[in-house]
Amino acid sequence: MTAYDRLSARFARIATVHEAAAMLNWDAAAMMPPGGAAARGDQLAVLAGHAHALLTAPEVAGDLAAATEADAWREANLRLMRHAHLRASAVPADLVEAQARANAACETIWRGARRDADFARVAPALAEVLNLARQQAAALSAALHLSPYDALMDGYQRGIGAADVAPVFTAYARFLHDALPRAEELQASRPPPLRPEGPFPADRQEALCRRLSEAAGLEAEHSRLDRSAHPFCGGTPSDVRITTRYDETDFARALLGVLHETGHALYERGLPAAFARQPVGEAAGMAAHESQSLIIEMQACRSDAYLGWLGPQLHAAFGGAAAAFAPANLGRLWRRVERGHIRVDADEMTYPAHVILRFRLEQALVVGELAAADLPGAWAEGMRDLLGIVPPDDAQGCMQDIHWYDGAIGYFPSYTLGAMAAAQLMAAARRDVPGLDAAIGRGDLSPLVGWLRLHVHAKGSLLGFNDLLRAATGRPLDPADFEAHLTARYLA
């Protein structure tokens, strides 16, 4: 075997360990009884330690130094292997296992504390997660020659740092300051939407969610839909697991959440099979991943065209007054701007404000300017500054997201970078695919998904985020398409 062949076999083993961990994480969120949490933390820690050992074994450095490849895909794969090895070698194995245990323990406490709006209960566990994350960030910073926060961001979206994100977010905050009051004023001048009358039984919602996900192109033989406290997409490219939560007074949360997670799942299903379990065969980062969920949910499935097709499906499933399911009424319901507390329920105009807040806070948390115990107050102050509102309790404030309590720090910028990329990709797809909106109006997303398969999914990690956008749209990330989209949808 050549050095490259040995590396390829090793990285396939590492990927398989990560797949096993992904399934255990899915089970913890969707199926595991609370009493299994401690054992699950141990299991995940052992798998994390094993994957780390495989990646940092002494022979890996020798093979990485000896391996050469001329083919573009294999060369990119080798480059990503080197980067993964550099990151892993920078972090001690005992820290990797300690983080896995602390993250699993904190997430378990968070579930009950969030339910009871009791931040004090989870604050000590979060402080330990942050302590370990700071150690990880310091180690990565020295190895990658990045700031500690950028070193954490690198784990979610390579090549994008705080200096890239901050001016984009500052410009968007200025746009929002002007656009949001205008959108609210225009909205207030129009008839209020009719709300479909419930209740909406969870089993009917679930059946409809399954049908819509399959209609979007997600094959039932390669996916599952389950329930969890926080919707997510996990699993593996050949066994994708998506989850949602149901509210019998409002079906929209589950339905739109499933369409969002279906976008993630379609990306996983479309990754290049020839490089399965290789770094170059993975998604191009979390901002790229968010672009795929948001292009399905926000750009396609909240469009006038799709709502015209969806309305009759909803009426058939739930009954009630047909007028409530009319496309124009659904548009007023689901494209309504509102200064709300919950990120996952936010409209697409105010959503970036939620991300900007988290971007600012997690930078302060990483460098030690903000302690875990002071998070609720800093959160309230930030929400007041960005949206002019203050959460009534911590469950609707700093406890609403799982990410920090699960150790995912540096992830949040990906959400808004993904929204901006989704608008840019959709504008390009409309230019490239004749009759795209007409197909969407028939409930047929296959032309859009086909275009994404070619320009995004099949590229894996061959290209970085900006190079991927440049190849697909002719430009690196450009927020202009996102602001034009919001202007057309909310200010016209």
* Domain-located, residue 304: no
> Any idea which residue has 């075997």 for tokens?
1
Contact, 410 vs 161, CB < 8 A? no
Q: Of residues 107, 261, 348, 362, which has the active-site annotation? A: 261
φ/ψ of 227, rounded to 5, equals -115, 140
Contacts of 185 (CB under 8 A, 6+ apart): none
* Domain-located, residue 40: yes
Between helix 351-367 and helix 162-188 the angle, nearest 10°, is: 150
Residues β-bridged to residue 29:
none
* Domain-located, residue 143: yes
Residues β-bridged to residue 241:
224, 234
* Domain-located, residue 103: yes
Contacts of 115 (CB under 8 A, 6+ apart): 395
Q: How many residues does the chain have?
A: 492
> Any idea which residue has 């795209």 for tokens?
436
Question: How many other β-carbons are positioned within 10 Å of the β-carbon of residue 37?
Answer: 16
Q: Which residues of the chain have pLDDT under 70?
A: none
* Domain-located, residue 15: yes
> Any idea which residue has 């566990």 for tokens?
125
Domain range for 78 is: 3-154
Q: How many domains does the chain have?
A: 1
* Domain-located, residue 114: yes
Taking the C-alpha atoms of residue 425 and residue 292, their distance in angstroms, rounded to an integer, is: 9
* Domain-located, residue 213: no
* Domain-located, residue 39: yes
Does the annotation mark 184 as catalytic?
no
Contacts of 431 (CB under 8 A, 6+ apart): none
Taking the C-alpha atoms of residue 433 and residue 333, their distance in angstroms, rounded to an integer, is: 29
> Which two tokens mark 391?
């959460």
- Can you give the pTM of this predicted structure? 0.92
> Which two tokens mark 488?
């057309």
Taking the C-alpha atoms of residue 474 and residue 164, their distance in angstroms, rounded to an integer, is: 19
